[in-house]
Amino acid sequence: MKSKDLLGRHGEDLAAGYLETLGMLVVERNWRCTEGEIDIVALDGDALVIAEVKTRRTLDYGHPFEAVGPDKLARLHRLGAAWCRDRELRMPLRRVDVIAVIDDGGGSPLVEHLRGVG
Amino acid sequence: MPLGRTYSIALVGLNGYIVEVEADIGQTLPAFVLLGLPDASLNEAKERIRSAAKNSGIPLSRRKITANLIPASLPKRGSGFDLAVTMAVLRAANDIKPTGRTVFIAELGLDGRLRPVRGILPAVMASVQAGYPDVVVAQANLAEASLVPDANVRGYSTLARLALEFGADPQELALDFEPEDTDSAGEAGVETGTYPDMADVSGQGDARRALEVAAAGAHHLLLTGPPGAGKTMLAERLPGLLPDLGDHESMEVTAIHSLCGLPSSSVQLLRRPPFESPHHSATAAAIIGGGSGLPRPGAASRAHRGVLFLDEAPEYERRVLDALRQPLESGELVIHRSAGTAAYPARFQLVLAANPCPCGKASGKGLDCTCTPVMRRRYLARMSGPLLDRVDIQLQVERVSLADFGQAGAEEDTATVARRVLGARARQLERLAPYGLETNAQIPGRILRGELRLPPAVTRILDHSLERGVLTARGYDRVLRLAWTLADLGYREQPDTNDIGQALGLRQAAAAAA
């Protein structure tokens, strides 16, 4: 694995752990279809959460949130619907969360969480 | 999180309006939205603000920032809102304390320095009038902004220093950054101005006299004569003869020049009447003002309270000359463009210079002139009747004779003539103040022939001319106005027959041309 993929994997682990501390139930990770990939699928009470995780070592190339544009957001919403079809589930409460992980390797990673964007 | 709220000023022409800037930070993906009818240069503010804040050590929030400029219906342009938007956003992020009713007017550099903007003087004046006397400007604008009475103006060189003043964390701020002073911020001075001296003009007794009368009574002036007679030389010496501007006039003039962004006005209060001499290829927009979006002042407004000199007047487009009729009448120019309407003051003294014919040689006997009589007539007729109707003094200037040319240094200098002009102005004001007028040129015919009526014995020669049809009724009034100015210059209570005779003489060119 390349180092950037390792970092992404590491960030997703941290994010999944963070969501669980919030009392969410992580249902699935790295679900793929032809249209793309969902990093984390979780349940927050009755609501289905499609979570996108962005990880950076530093802020030199901008904040992780800035990497989530309107196109990506629209795709996440479509992927959420695709996941429900695939699992043959009806989830009327569905939202997209974005999680930023900033970890410079100093042992204190920073996790920021935006609920229900776009 | 609190809502950030600051104030700035939007200028429409010379009038400024308070603009309220609201900023809100939303818990969603990063974005910067600027609402409230910003133009392209104002929309660029988003990028300037982000960089400036980061480089000042107080980066903006990585969330959705919404800034709203109120009222939305007012078109806003330019970079002067940068600072107000930044302060509102910083307040919304709780980085600084509330700024209250402070008005912020400055552009931001990417490195966080505050840059001066144009038109700071009218903006601060408007702010004080609207009841917001606390104003923060760029250091380089401080001197100019401080000219406004009753304003409590503060100047800062960088955003970091300003943020510190409003309670930002000094640990975070980039306070050691001090921009080298590219925009010089001298002391607020008074521009005294230097004009060419009357002593340089050899001979030309009639023209010198006409110039003095024009200065004393604020009469518009037309000089016709062959090339080399010294028309331009004379016209350039007129502003030197005019008295200093009063406090109020001085602010008006400086405000216009501040809006035009002329370097000469960057910090100085203009105390001397301005002199504008546009080239004759100028368009109507250049003379009366215009431009895309909100109209900007033209040469006529820049000559407000001063002299507008149109050299080679017949060479101007006719519609340019005719466009001057409105300001000559009302002292104001109202210009309409897509983004709004602007009114600029334009009470100037008009000086026209013209050759007698296209080849310029038709003076004296006119033997060398190659123009046909029709060409000659058409040439001067390019200056329309309605325009010339408003020009009190119409004088023919002849080439200077050899005898006069020899006596350099024998002529009166500007200071001597200006003293007489000042005295004459004082006497006019004393007489005309009850009617709300200042100069003889402004007296309407109703008063000339009413309260200020002269005895029939004095006006006999005029009455006679009117009867014979040599003089029109309007021409009659103009001779009277000139006669009053001549009397003022001669310390006489009212004009005598001699003054009337001289006044008729100052209109000789009109008789020759018409």
B305 has pLDDT over 80: yes
Nearest to A15 by CA among A64, A51, A61: A51
Chain B hits for A60, CB-CB cut-off 8 Å, are: none
Q: Does B30 lie at the interface with A, CB-CB under 8 angstroms? A: yes
B399 has pLDDT over 90: no
A94 has pLDDT over 70: yes
Pairing of strands B152-156, B31-35: unpaired
Q: Specify the pLDDT at position B403.
A: 65
What CA–CA distance (Å, rounded) separates B193 from B240? 9
Chain B hits for A66, CB-CB cut-off 8 Å, are: 29-30, 62
Better pLDDT: B488 or B380: B488
Helix residue ranges per DSSP H, B111-246: 120-129, 142-145, 159-165, 205-217, 231-236, 238-241
The verdict on whether omega for the bond into residue B434 sits within 30 degrees of 0, i.e. cis, is: no
Question: Would the CB atoms of B29 and A73 count as touching at under 8 Å?
Answer: yes
A107 has pLDDT over 90: no
A71 Cβ contact partners less than 8 Å away, ≥ 6 residues apart: none
A14-28, B185-199, B282-296, B330-344: least confident range: B185-199
A114-118, B75-79, B171-175, B191-195: least confident range: B191-195
Better pLDDT: B299 or B380: B299
Contact B310, B316 (CB under 8 A): yes
Chain A hits for B27, CB-CB cut-off 8 Å, are: 114-115
Structural tokens at position B262: 């002329």
Q: Specify the pLDDT at position A13.
A: 92
B81 has pLDDT over 90: yes
Chain A hits for B53, CB-CB cut-off 8 Å, are: none
Residue written as token pair 């502003």? B239
What CA–CA distance (Å, rounded) separates B197 from B194? 9
ipTM (interface predicted TM): 0.73
Q: Does A15 lie at the interface with B, CB-CB under 8 angstroms? A: no
Q: Which amino acid belongs to residue B440?
A: N
What CA–CA distance (Å, rounded) separates B501 from B486? 10
Question: Would the CB atoms of B62 and A65 count as touching at under 8 Å?
Answer: yes
Q: Specify the pLDDT at position B266.
A: 56
B510 has pLDDT over 60: no
- Which of A98, A112, A114 has the highest number of chain B CBs within 10 A, making it the mutation to test binding with B? A114
Q: Specify the pLDDT at position A20.
A: 93
A60 Cβ contact partners less than 8 Å away, ≥ 6 residues apart: none
The pTM of this model reads: 0.79
Average pLDDT value for residue range A14-28? 93
Average pLDDT value for residue range B358-374? 77
Distances in Å between the Cα of A40 and the Cα atoms of A22, A49, A55, A79, B488 are: 14, 8, 14, 11, 94
Write a three-state SS string for B33-80: EEECCECHHHHCHHHHHHHHHHHCCCCCCCCEEEEEEECCCCCECCCC
Q: Specify the pLDDT at position B191.
A: 57
Q: Of the candidates A73, A114, A118, which has its C-beta nearest B27's C-beta?
A: A114
What CA–CA distance (Å, rounded) separates B184 from B140? 6
Q: Specify the pLDDT at position B159.
A: 93
Question: Would the CB atoms of B29 and A63 count as touching at under 8 Å?
Answer: no
CA distance B6 to chain A (A): 27
Angle of the B82-92 helix axis to the B45-55 helix axis, nearest 10: 60
Q: Specify the pLDDT at position B7.
A: 96
Which residue in chain A is spatially nearest to B30 when comparing CA positions?
A66
Nearest to A102 by CA among A73, A65, A68, A69: A65
**Residue A107, CB-side half-sphere exposure with 13 Å CA sphere:** 0
- For the stretch B319-359, pLDDT in tens is 899 889 889 888 888 888 877 788 899 999 999 999 888 88
Q: Which of B200-204, B285-289, B358-362 has the highest mean pLDDT?
A: B285-289
What is the overall mean pLDDT for chain B? 86
Average pLDDT value for residue range B219-232? 88
B464 Cβ contact partners less than 8 Å away, ≥ 6 residues apart: none
Residues 82-111 of A with CB under 8 A from B: 98
Question: Would the CB atoms of B62 and A63 count as touching at under 8 Å?
Answer: yes
Q: Specify the pLDDT at position B5.
A: 94
Structural tokens at position A81: 């619907």
Question: Would the CB atoms of B29 and A117 count as touching at under 8 Å?
Answer: yes
What percent of chain B lies above the pLDDT cut of 70?
A: 92
Contact B207, B509 (CB under 8 A): no
Distances in Å between the Cα of B105 and the Cα atoms of A85, B24, B220, B319, B475 are: 56, 20, 40, 38, 51
B479 has pLDDT over 60: yes
Average pLDDT value for residue range B84-108? 93
Contact B7, B132 (CB under 8 A): yes
A1-15, B4-18, B177-191: least confident range: B177-191
Biggest distance spanned by C-alpha atoms of chain B: 90
Better pLDDT: B292 or B433: B433
B438 has pLDDT over 90: no
- For the stretch B165-188, pLDDT in tens is 998 888 888 887 777 765 554 445
Q: Does A114 lie at the interface with B, CB-CB under 8 angstroms? A: yes
Q: Specify the pLDDT at position B512.
A: 46
Question: Would the CB atoms of A118 and B28 count as touching at under 8 Å?
Answer: yes
What CA–CA distance (Å, rounded) separates B341 from B12? 8
- Which of B25, B27, B28 has the highest number of chain A CBs within 10 A, making it the mutation to test binding with A? B28
